[in-house]
């Protein structure tokens, strides 16, 4: 990776680890894949979300466990 060209740009650019592969990449407006390092890593992450590989755990709601009221 090359350094940012000037100090004002350096304030808006930080180097981060790609969430998919861990490679160092710039988190800046000129990186269209941020926070990822490439289109490949971005696509892999999107695919994991689309296939429901990532899930948020939550306790079941009591209302969800109750049976619906009987129709009369």
**CATH code of 29's domain:** 3.30.50.10
Specify if 48 maps to a domain.
yes
Mean pLDDT of the chain: 82
pLDDT at 61 over 70: yes
- pLDDT confidence of 47, banded at 50, 70, 90? very high
Place of tokens 């988190």: 27
Name the residue range of residue 40's domain. Answer: 11-55
pLDDT at 57 over 90: no
Give the pLDDT of residue 9: 53
Phi/psi for 11 (5° steps) reads -70, -25
Reported as a single tens digit per residue, the pLDDT across 3-37 is 555 555 555 789 999 999 999 999 999 999 999 99
What's the CA gap between 23 and 4, in Å, rounded? Answer: 18
pTM of model > 0.95: no
Specify if 51 maps to a domain.
yes
């Amino acid at each position: 990776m090359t350094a940012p060209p000037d100090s004002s740009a350096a304030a808006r650019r930080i180097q981060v680890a790609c969430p998919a592969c861990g490679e160092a990449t710039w988190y800046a407006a000129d990186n269209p894949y941020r926070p990822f390092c490439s289109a490949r890593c971005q696509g892999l992450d999107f695919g994991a979300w689309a296939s429901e590989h990532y899930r948020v755990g939550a306790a079941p709601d009591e209302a969800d466990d109750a049976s619906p009221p009987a129709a009369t």
